[in-house]
Chains A and B, each alone.
Chain A
Amino acid sequence: MAEQEFQPKIIGFFCNWCTYAGADLAGVTRLQYPPNIRVIRVMCSGTVSPHHVLRAFQKGADGVLIGGCHIGDCHYLRGNYMTIKRMRFLQDLLKFTGFEADRLHLEWISAAEGPKLAQTVTAFTNKIKSMGPSPLKRLTAKAA
């Protein structure tokens, strides 16, 4: 059991119009990526609040990947303006508290960017693998 490679749990919040569509496109073109991600479809990346991200970490997520439309391409015009504000702030706040801010990643991936989706999920999964389990998870396990 202990010998097995660490398989991280990653939560993906993908916006319906761009990144979720890009993920579908990755499928249509049969691009392969690691199966560690669990995707939650949201209408806009602007639907994702820092609360949702923090809850995922609290519950033991090793990584959270947020995917939205490129700036200027948002289906809701400027919903993603808030996404980047919130997530850049949260990343920097996590960094200050030593919470390994790299476990939260935001990427703009369009509906046409199937390859970028596959590359991003692969690279992010590999990065989280190399970082090891989330320290919050270890902590929760200890507390339980």
Chain B
Amino acid sequence: MDKIRKKVKSLLTEGKVAGYLGYILREGHPLPHLFTRDHLAELEQAVVPPGDARYPLDKILQALARRYPEDTFTIQVRGCDERGLNELYKWGQLDPDKVVLVGVACPQEQADYCECPGPYPSVVDYGEKCNPVPQSRRVARIDSLGQEAAFQEWLGHFARCVKCYGCRDVCPMCFCKECGLEHPELMSIGKVPPDTIFQLVRAIHMAGRCIDCGLCEEACPADIPLRVLYKKGNLLVKELFDYDTGSLGTGLSPWKSLGDEVTLETKPL
């Protein structure tokens, strides 16, 4: 932790960043906080929260960047947060030149829980790199179900939806000003549970954008296994378009360019 405090302190005092978006310990709870040069002492309370206490810092950073477009911020990131930043750079929502990383590696226990394919960021200032979990057993289980069983299972999940939009509101990647899920032409209004296609429309938006942080699933009061749906979306994006969501290596998102050639074929009737 001292390493982080030292790094942040020098960034702040040298004026390289306008603030550090991290966590502060308040009454025993880690809460998101913006540390600034004017309140350097607060850094003593800066913490890295345990694996299961997380907030959408990427989302907060977007709000900060919109408010202070000229300023550079440093932000505490886990593997998923960094994937989020990478995707947000590509989608024009953040400027990579205005972000400095403070990296935190997740403990193995967290990585296993998340089935995380990349449990540490490119910069590690805290924690030890643990083993990634490349395969998702939760996705594999659904894949192995028959069509009817899978359908019934998902219907059961979707029927519990109370349309609170919690999944969307917490999502660091949901940056649209206006949400298609609220378009009355697309989605029936005044219906709970919502239209059956509700989760599918969101899954389409998340494909190639979801950075698998899992906050949606944690926010969902109905315990819908949203993360499984979005994990599958990203797997399909990888399989069909060879695109690694959240990586800087595989070029533009398939949804952001036409591409030079078509390798996919239509399915036979």
Chain A residues close to B by CB (< 8 Å): 50-51, 54-55, 57-58, 71, 78, 80-82, 84-85, 88-100, 105-108, 120, 123-124, 127, 135-136, 139-140
Contact = CB atoms under 8 A, between A and B. Distances in A.
B95 interface: no
Q: Which 5 A-B pairs have the closest CB atoms?
A: A98-B151, A98-B150, A54-B197, A78-B258, A81-B258
22 contacts: A50-B204, A51-B180, A54-B200, A57-B197, A71-B262, A84-B262, A88-B264, A89-B204, A89-B207, A89-B237, A89-B240, A93-B236, A96-B150, A96-B232, A97-B150, A97-B154, A98-B145, A98-B147, A99-B151, A108-B266, A135-B151, A136-B196
Contacts of A96: 142-143, 150, 229, 232, 236
B240 to A, nearest CB: 6
Given A93-B203, A93-B233, A81 B262 contact: yes
Given A50-B204, A88-B264, A139 B197 contact: no
A127 B269 CA distance: 8
Contacts of A123: 269
**Interface size range of chain B in the complex:** 35 or more
Contacts of A85: 240-241, 254-255, 259, 264
B40 interface: no
Given A93-B200, A97-B154, A98-B153, A88 B232 contact: no
Given A98-B149, A98-B150, 20 more contacts: A50-B204, A51-B186, A51-B204, A55-B186, A78-B259, A84-B262, A85-B254, A88-B264, A89-B236, A89-B237, A89-B240, A92-B236, A93-B236, A96-B236, A97-B200, A98-B146, A99-B151, A99-B200, A139-B155, A139-B196
Interface string B255-269: 100110010111101
A106 B153 CA distance: 27
B148 A81 contact: no
Interface centre among B237, B259, B269 (most CB of A within 10 A): B269
Contacts of A106: 266-267
A71 B265 CA distance: 10
Nearest to A68: B266
B267 A91 contact: yes
B112 interface: no
Contact of A93 (B146, B152, B204): B204
B201 interface: yes
B239 to A, nearest CB: 8
Interface of B: 142-143, 145-155, 180, 185-186, 188, 195-197, 200-201, 203-204, 207, 229, 232-233, 236-237, 239-241, 254-255, 258-259, 262, 264-267, 269
Nearest to A81: B258
Interface centre among A55, A84, A96, A108 (most CB of B within 10 A): A96
Nearest to A79: B258
Contact of A120 (B233, B239, B269): B269
A131 to B, nearest CB: 11
A120 B269 CA distance: 8
A99 B197 CA distance: 10
Contacts of A51: 180, 186, 201, 204
A42 B39 CA distance: 59
Contacts of A140: 196
Nearest to A85: B254
Given A78-B258, A92-B240, A97 B229 contact: yes
